[in-house]
A and B are shown apart, each in its own frame.
Chain A
């Protein structure tokens, strides 16, 4: 059974107030949180693939959430980083406040779907988004997702 999103999303990989206002910069700023992750094999390639995927089609999912992601050989296991922007970052026509960067090994299609599916399910609830907006520490942010995931 694949690990839950909360298990993967460590507080050290959560940025509560990202500085970037541009989409690509914002993605890279959040991605930097998993640079030192033990499962990261090639951070540079990972970043390139994240941006390339977003180039194919926007990863904004609506309701102020985006899931920039990459299925890549640059990670050995699934990695997730989260970033919050109070002002919001423009992803195409959508203003995004929560950015979840996800990296999964190329062959693990199911785990990727589990991760995106779980986060999408949680974040469609306004209550969760409100709680995440109100979270004052990365631990509290992680706990909110843990509680509902």
Chain B
């Protein structure tokens, strides 16, 4: 027996900790918080930051546009006001600046890391490199501000995703949760780019995750809503939809048939649009031009087209708006439509950073408008107006290029807020989608992922074991830890079970928050109780090689959010696995099992 004078009294529970601990128990019992609920809070924060980064990007683009063109107007209007030589030079200058940014930025960013947020979500571990993403966004800024025919949603989503990847990296989250939170960033980016929260969440769920499982869809919705609320506080959006459309009206039931025909045409045309974009890409690659001349050439082509039709400048937003108000003759639109497709091919093909989402909407609306003009000529007294066809065309073409009909329907509905259009829109989107997948099995987004080996990831996922999702270094206490130390741990962490280890880190059991609850009012207990006294040894544990499905079964008999992961040989605590991460990983696997290969 040791010398009694050597024994130390445990530190007394500091009085100010008691109310905190009581609050902690109250919250834990009333709301039974899980990791998923906290993921929702992170999703909200990511949504807010995504919204802010979106506003910042827009303002910066407008600023750069002003510096380079001395115009505060929209892209198309400022191009109309420019003399022809300036229309020609501006996109070329933007291409050169965009290329120089990438070339210069490469030196500051780590090589051999993909910046693609989709890849980070689908194939990677949810890490989007910060510096190279910033370089890409600045490059996109120059292309967009100088009239490049590319969408700003690309950099907006990229920026939101990079912001979203930070908490996961700093908090050392397992890959499924990191991927989910980056997906939330992407949803926030889309939602804030188009003032469309439903489409933002569905874009990521349908195109990137391929699943609307509630484990992932809930946080996506939350991030989208917060991002939209954030951008709506600015003067850019307010509460109004992105596009103001004239009221749509159907006079007779048969009028849905022409819209079905539009869906069929869009479904047939979209694969060719995708093939055209890829052809442009291949052509620029084959030219073997260095980066700056290549992007400059892309700009020169856009500039040359803008000399003829200044409406090709920019992502196509203002042109869509004017198409929707029937301000175009079909002859003029046909010219702009052809030039816009060429301009998009030149910008995209040259390797400019940006999205093709809004240009796709433009092509869809133009196609719809032209077909609408034909039907309107045939039946001038019907409700078949070209602008309504433009709306349906947008949705149908989007559905056919992205292979995401649900997102396309809701996107068009949200950016116009015209409920009357919903029936022809749904009809057009579904027909276009089904026709296009028959012709072209890869979507505008899946091509890149296919190249990067999604199948490899599928194999990896089916072999996942507990060790792949394990979070290392969970908080622990020693058997001699006093009540005060235990209480402090329960306040600092939101777990209901605190792991107890010996000096060799061998797992001994847990202290349950609910066991100590009745004694929170009795500070004198702190002088008597140590972890050893209230240890629960019969706590379920898992080993690192256990497959995920089996680990889930353990959770079926256990009310906790986490399970300790122990070394098979010496029972040392290696880490912990959370139920939420497990559910997310299994939801991902279920999606992979059922989804067609990309």
Contacts and interface: CB of A to CB of B under 8 A. Distances in A.
B253 interface: no
Interface string B573-591: 0000000000000000000
Contacts of A90: 4
B18 to A, nearest CB: 15
Contacts of B534: 109, 112-113
A20 interface: no
B4 A23 contact: yes
Interface stretch (B135-143, B303-311, B518-526): B518-526
Given A112-B533, A117-B518, A55 B527 contact: no
Nearest to A120: B524
Given A69-B533, A71-B533, A109-B535, A117 B522 contact: yes
B559 to A, nearest CB: 16
Given A71-B533, A112-B533, A117-B519, A57 B8 contact: yes
Contacts of A93: 5, 9
A120 B5 CA distance: 23
Interface in A89-109: 90-93, 106-107, 109
A24 B9 CA distance: 17
A120 B1 contact: no
B532 interface: yes
Contact of B7 (A69, A92, A120, A121): A92
Contacts of A121: 522, 524
Nearest to A114: B518
A110 B515 contact: yes
B527 A61 contact: yes
Count chain A CB atoms within 10 A of each CB in B9, B516, B534 and give the residue with the most: B9
A137 B512 CA distance: 40
Interface residues on A, range: 20 to 34
B278 interface: no
A120 B479 CA distance: 21
A56 interface: yes
A110 to B, nearest CB: 6
Interface residues of B, number: 30
Contact of A57 (B1, B516, B525, B530): B530
Given A56-B480, A92-B7, A61 B524 contact: yes
Interface in A19-61: 23-24, 51, 53-61
A124 to B, nearest CB: 5
B528 interface: yes
Contacts of A112: 533-534
Nearest to B9: A58
A141 interface: no
Given A106-B537, A110-B515, A116 B4 contact: no
Interface in B491-542: 512, 515-516, 518-519, 522, 524-525, 527-530, 532-538
A62 interface: yes
Contacts of B515: 109-110, 113
Interface of A: 23-24, 51, 53-63, 67, 69, 71, 90-93, 106-107, 109-110, 112-113, 116-117, 120-121, 124
The 8 closest A-B pairs by CB, nearest first: A58-B7, A61-B527, A61-B528, A92-B7, A120-B524, A57-B530, A92-B4, A67-B528
Interface of B: 1-2, 4-5, 7-10, 479-480, 482, 512, 515-516, 518-519, 522, 524-525, 527-530, 532-538
11 contacts: A23-B4, A54-B7, A56-B479, A56-B480, A57-B8, A58-B7, A58-B8, A60-B527, A61-B527, A113-B519, A113-B529
